[in-house]
């Protein structure tokens, strides 16, 4: 899919299909009115017939209109003007891309008055690309050739945003949107791959490939090197698995200055989480292949940042391993020593994400990061608290939290701030080690997980994103979402600006 922008009257643009909006209450958008005028009332007729009432995400395609250069005109319902927000905008773009007709190669959008409150032209352009690209995403690389062919897009689309006068923000927004979509697609692809393909070494290979293609620096450490760093907590999670663990470090130097003040992104890379000896129930256990979506979002974000050549230094750190039961697996009650020197009583081997992240958080401090953000499918409790809508944001640093929330809002990749105060730390007391790896059952589980991590980032600017509910969808449209790549990309874009 390609994107560009052109200043022209909507009726003059020569595309296979031109999309114009119709509001449910206010009727025709400005572009629709123009098309109606030059065509001698074709839009009005479609509305009068009852075919187009402006209902959200509805679509009617008209053909061969008089005075209109495009072959087709798609009337796209935008819903009530007062309710027209980022969600309705995305639905309208999706409806147009899906419904414009299989023969459409060039699709033009006249979205001059598809205004979303609080969003400028570049934001609209980014959102348009995000919605359009999402319609084309497929995870079919493991299907047979015949099945792949059947699910391909009928035609490769070229999408043009038509404006009355040239607008710099739109071209910039489209370019940014494409880079973000590329990062999102990478994160989705990796998230959807099964545990027998997407192993720790596979993630390492992805990091090496990104480094080659985008001029990043990748370093991959094996079990011996991880042990030499003293990461006893991380390694305890791998004990039951025959897949060797990897510690992946990926550096992007966009600001130079000897890699000063990087933003550190730390992603949970559990390529399959069975729970270990504290085995999970069988239902939907396949979904635990997504337990590396934090890692995938780090890789996706680095790809986006490199493609956009942002003037910012970023270091990504990914502890990657499997969590499986076996005769050599870590047992409930085992006590392990983290890289920080703090000891941990592993009361539940299913609370493994924090055990790999704590060592990665200790490790990343050697880069003297300006800020550390970890991203993890960390707790089922976060899904209970926030569902699939918001990622959980935990930070003691108000300025960092505000920056992340602002990026979340403007990228449409939302997050909601949760507490991490020390009042919850009591739950992690252990009689035999410096701390336990779980709190009280059914008691603020996503908060105590964050509090566990907080013990490893004292005096750091740190935030934690729990994406257990947002990184994938279940049900019929099951699959990875690519979140929170848009949030992280926007956060870094703002820091670089
Ligand atoms: N990967 C899971 C968290 C998870 C659960 C993500 C559901 C997505 C959907 C994590 O490793 C885990 O198992 N957490 C436990 C922690 C508990 C044992 C304290 C959980 O949430 O049940
Ligand atoms: Mn687990
Ligand atoms: Zn897990």
**Which residues are known catalytic residues?**
280, 354
Question: How high is the pLDDT of residue 225?
Answer: 99
Q: Ligand 1 pocket test: which of 380, 386, 467 has the largest number of ligand atoms within 8 Å of its C-beta? A: 380
Question: How high is the pLDDT of residue 154?
Answer: 62
Q: Which of 316, 319, 321 is nearest to 211 (CA)?
A: 316
Please list the ranges in the chain whose pLDDT falls under 70.
153-155
Helical packing angle, 200-214 and 168-192, nearest 10°: 150
Determine how many CB atoms are found less than 10 A away from the CB of residue 164.
14
Q: In what order do the strands lie in the sheet with 435-436?
A: 335-337, 343-345, 435-436
Pair of tokens at residue 272: 């399959």
Burial of 388 (0-12, 13-18, 19+ CB in 10 A): middle
Rounded to whole angstroms, the Cα distance separating 132 from 91 reads 10
Ligand 2 is an ion; residues with CB less than 5 A from it: 273, 350, 352
**375 Cα to the center of ligand 1, angstroms:** 14
Pair of tokens at residue 131: 């919605």
**229 Cα to the center of ligand 3, angstroms:** 23
Question: How high is the pLDDT of residue 156?
Answer: 76
Pair of tokens at residue 285: 């256990």
Q: Which helix (H) or strand (E) holds 96?
A: helix 86-99
Which residues is 159 bridged to in the sheet? 3, 107
Rounded to whole angstroms, the Cα distance separating 48 from 35 reads 16
Q: Ligand 1 pocket test: which of 270, 379, 383, 464 has the largest number of ligand atoms within 8 Å of its C-beta? A: 379
- Ligand 1: list residues with CB < 6 Å: 273, 291, 348, 350-353, 377-381, 383, 438, 445, 468
Question: How high is the pLDDT of residue 127?
Answer: 97
Residue partners of 423: CB distance under 8 A and separation at least 6: none
Residue partners of 156: CB distance under 8 A and separation at least 6: 1, 105
**274 Cα to the center of ligand 1, angstroms:** 10
Q: Which of 358, 300, 352 is nearest to 323 (CA)?
A: 352
Question: How high is the pLDDT of residue 149?
Answer: 87
Q: How many CA atoms does the CB half-sphere of 1 hold within 13 Å?
A: 28
pTM as predicted: 0.97
Residue nearest to atom 7 of ligand 1 (CA): 380
**389 Cα to the center of ligand 3, angstroms:** 20
Pair of tokens at residue 363: 């490790």
DSSP string, 345-396: E-S-TT--HHHHHHHHHHHHGGG--SEEEEEE---HHHHHHHTTT-EEEEES
């Amino acid at each position: 899919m390609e994107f560009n922008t052109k200043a022209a009257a909507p009726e003059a643009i020569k595309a296979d299909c031109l999309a114009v909006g119709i509001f449910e209450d206010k009727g025709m958008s400005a572009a629709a009115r123009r098309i109606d005028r030059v065509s001698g009332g074709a839009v009005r007729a479609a509305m009068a017939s009852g075919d187009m009432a402006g209902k959200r995400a509805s679509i009617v395609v008209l053909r061969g209109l008089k005075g209109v250069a495009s072959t087709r005109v798609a009337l796209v319902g935008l819903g009530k003007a007062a309710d027209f927000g980022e969600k309705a905008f995305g639905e309208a773009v999706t409806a147009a891309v899906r419904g414009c007709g299989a023969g459409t190669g060039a699709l033009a959008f006249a979205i001059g008055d598809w205004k979303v409150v609080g969003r400028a032209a570049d934001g609209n352009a980014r959102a348009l690309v995000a919605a359009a690209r999402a319609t084309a995403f497929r995870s079919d690389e493991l299907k047979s050739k015949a099945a792949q062919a059947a699910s391909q897009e009928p035609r490769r689309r070229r999408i043009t945003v038509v404006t009355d006068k040239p607008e710099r923000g739109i071209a910039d927004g489209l370019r940014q949107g494409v880079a973000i979509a590329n990062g999102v697609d990478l994160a989705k692809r990796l998230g959807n791959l099964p545990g027998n393909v997407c192993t720790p070494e596979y993630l390492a290979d992805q990091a090496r490939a990104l480094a080659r293609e985008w001029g990043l620096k990748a370093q991959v450490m094996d079990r011996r090197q991880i042990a030499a760093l003293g990461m006893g907590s991380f390694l305890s999670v791998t004990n039951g698995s025959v897949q060797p663990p990897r510690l992946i470090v990926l550096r992007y130097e966009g600001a130079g200055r000897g890699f000063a003040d990087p933003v550190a992104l730390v992603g949970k890379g559990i390529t399959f989480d069975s729970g270990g000896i504290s085995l999970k129930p069988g239902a939907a256990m396949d979904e635990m292949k997504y337990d590396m979506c934090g890692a995938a979002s780090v890789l996706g974000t680095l790809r986006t940042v490199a493609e956009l050549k942002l003037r910012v230094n970023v270091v990504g750190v990914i502890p990657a391993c499997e969590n499986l039961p076996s005769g050599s697996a870590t047992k409930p009650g085992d006590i392990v020593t983290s890289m920080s020197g703090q000891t941990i009583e592993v009361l539940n081997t299913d609370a493994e994400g924090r055990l790999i992240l704590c060592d990665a958080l200790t490790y990343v401090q050697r880069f003297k990061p300006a800020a550390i953000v970890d991203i993890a499918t960390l707790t089922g409790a976060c899904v209970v608290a926030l569902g699939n809508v918001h990622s959980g944001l935990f930070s003691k640093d108000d300025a960092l939290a505000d920056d992340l929330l602002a990026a979340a809002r403007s990228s449409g990749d939302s997050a909601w701030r949760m507490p991490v105060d020390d009042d919850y730390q009591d739950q992690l007391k252990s009689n035999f080690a410096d701390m336990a790896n779980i709190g009280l059952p059914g008691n603020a589980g996503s908060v105590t997980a964050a509090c566990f991590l907080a013990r490893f980032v004292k005096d750091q600017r740190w935030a934690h994103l729990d994406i257990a509910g947002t990184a994938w969808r279940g049900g019929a449209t099951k699959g990875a979402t690519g979140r929170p790549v848009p949030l992280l990309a926007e956060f870094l874009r703002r820091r670089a600006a």
